[in-house]
Amino acid sequence: MQKNRSIKDELKIFQEGLAELISPDELEKKLSSSREKGAPLRIKYGADPTSKDLHLGHTVPLRKLRSLQDLGHRVIFIVGDFTARIGDPTQQTETRKMLSPAEVEANAATYQEQVFRILNRSQTEVVYNSKWFDAMRPQDFLALAAKYTVARLLERDDFQKRFQENRPIALVEFLYPLFQGYDSVVVRSDIELGGTDQKFNLLVGRDFQRAYGQEPQVVMTLPIIEGTDGVQKMSKSLGNAVGIQDAPDEIFGKIMSIPDALMLRYFRYLTEDGSAKAAAFEKELKDGKIHPRDLKVRLAKEIVTLYHNSEAAENARRAFDKVFREKEIPDNIPEVTVPKDLLEGGKMETLALLVRAGLASSRSEARRQIEQGSVRVNQQKIDLERTAIALDGEVVIQCGKRKFARIRPS
């Protein structure tokens, strides 16, 4: 809603980085109307708190939203505390386990704090969709379900595939797109933003707004960002995610582990002014003016700086070099004490010690790490034959490339 920009210029900013816009003509009309009325557009974005932490994949739409806030528009951030109980069936091959209200509430507790690392708080309206869904009566849900057909829902690729493969589709999963679509009606959204995997749900919002006598929202989709493996969508459950609340060393190390082919894509979508940077670096790489490893270091430092600060980024770089270039143990590693009454003959069982030190989440994971040759004690690789570790003094255990712990008896 910046009157010093032309609508064409504003349209260009809206379209930058998008996978699809439905439709440019509708958006131009909404922008013109916004200027005439002197009212910002209402841009809807929803997130279901199915886990506690946001990762870099979540920041792609958040960064886009921030750029639209900088134009003067308003973000309606919907915390899907009701829909999270079901879980979005998008790209799921099986029915999700339903979450309890208590689990959802615990996950949602830090969502706003994380979101406002990127969004402008004063230009964001946060709403919880349980506010309207918990107040609905059975007949209200029936009226909602009557506005859509099973045939339309089965047009979804993931539902269609599961149906053809005789995989179960719970009735409640059919309701999920309807709930998301009804959110658009309640908040009277002008635009809804989401990943390309959300296109069907976003279009349901347009259908519902028409059914309720509203002007349909414009749909904007963004690319899905691959995780550190460079193959699958970034996901904590797949172990390929970089959390925005991860420690600086952890973020730096994970970024340094990505395939070179992902670097420009990460610059484009995960950093500030990313499109311009990606274009410039692509040319430098092509001309041989920058080495891929040096560019990856720059990317890792930029991302650590965004979620911590420049000093933390530089310290993370030094720690990384110490481990991977100089093959030394980093200075700042977690210290763990083990009470002597837990020791037998001055030793502690290896699997139990790895779990206590926070180097493995379970005994089975600890066993798997040892089988893979990822565990070192005082820089010496160990195998499963070493059933216990002596703690007669300080011991440094390394698990994988980046996890360390300094352990001593107390």
pLDDT of residue 397: 86
CATH number for 57? 3.40.50.620
Q: Of 222, 237, 259, which closes a domain?
A: 222
Kindly state whether residues 251 and 311 are assigned to the same domain.
yes
CATH number for 339? 3.10.290.10
Kindly state whether residues 139 and 217 are assigned to the same domain.
yes
Beta carbons within 8 Å of 169's beta carbon, 6+ residues apart: 89, 95, 159, 162, 163
Tell me the percentage of the chain whose pLDDT exceeds 90: 48
**Among 233, 309, 303, 212, residue whose Cα is nearest residue 266:** 303
Instruction: Report pLDDT digits (tens) over 82-127.
Output: 888 776 555 554 445 667 778 778 877 788 888 999 999 999 999 9
Parent domain of 380: 335-409
Question: In a 10 Å sphere around its CB, with 0-12 CB exposed, 13-18 middle and 19+ buried, how is residue 379 labelled?
Answer: exposed
Residue 228: inside a domain: no
Kindly state whether residues 18 and 45 are assigned to the same domain.
yes
Do 3 and 37 form a contact (C-beta atoms < 8 A)? no
pLDDT of residue 409: 80
Residue 389: inside a domain: yes
Kindly state whether residues 111 and 187 are assigned to the same domain.
yes
Nearest-angstrom CA–CA distance, 188 and 400:
49
Kindly state whether residues 155 and 201 are assigned to the same domain.
yes
Kindly state whether residues 189 and 56 are assigned to the same domain.
yes
Residue 149: inside a domain: yes
Kindly state whether residues 263 and 215 are assigned to the same domain.
no
Q: Of 297, 324, 351, which closes a domain?
A: 324
Kindly state whether residues 199 and 307 are assigned to the same domain.
no
Residue 240: inside a domain: no
- How many independent structural domains does the chain possess? 3
Residue 302: inside a domain: yes
pLDDT of residue 93: 45
> Mean of the per-residue pLDDT values for the chain?
87
- 3-class SS of residue 257: coil
Query: Which region among 17-26, 70-79, 107-116, 270-279 has the lowest average model confidence (pLDDT)?
Result: 107-116
The first and second tokens of residue 281, run together, are 């670096």
CATH number for 294? 1.10.240
pLDDT of residue 163: 76
Higher pLDDT, 232 or 104: 232
Residue 329: inside a domain: no
Q: Give the H/E segment covering residue 60.
A: helix 56-69
Residue 23: inside a domain: yes
Kindly state whether residues 250 and 373 are assigned to the same domain.
no
**Among 377, 352, 376, residue whose Cα is nearest residue 364:** 352
Would the pLDDT of 248 be above 60?
Answer: yes
Kindly state whether residues 161 and 255 are assigned to the same domain.
no
Higher pLDDT, 403 or 277: 277
pLDDT of residue 3: 63
Residue 236: inside a domain: no
Would the pLDDT of 392 be above 80?
Answer: no
What is the pLDDT confidence band of residue 188, given thresholds at 50, 70 and 90?
A: very high
Higher pLDDT, 327 or 35: 35
pLDDT of residue 336: 85
Query: Which region among 102-106, 125-129, 216-220, 225-229 has the lowest average model confidence (pLDDT)?
Result: 102-106
Q: Of 324, 348, 370, which closes a domain?
A: 324
Mean pLDDT confidence for 217-225: 96
Kindly state whether residues 341 and 301 are assigned to the same domain.
no
Say how many CA atoms lie within 13 Å of 77 toward its Cβ: 24
Kindly state whether residues 320 and 256 are assigned to the same domain.
yes
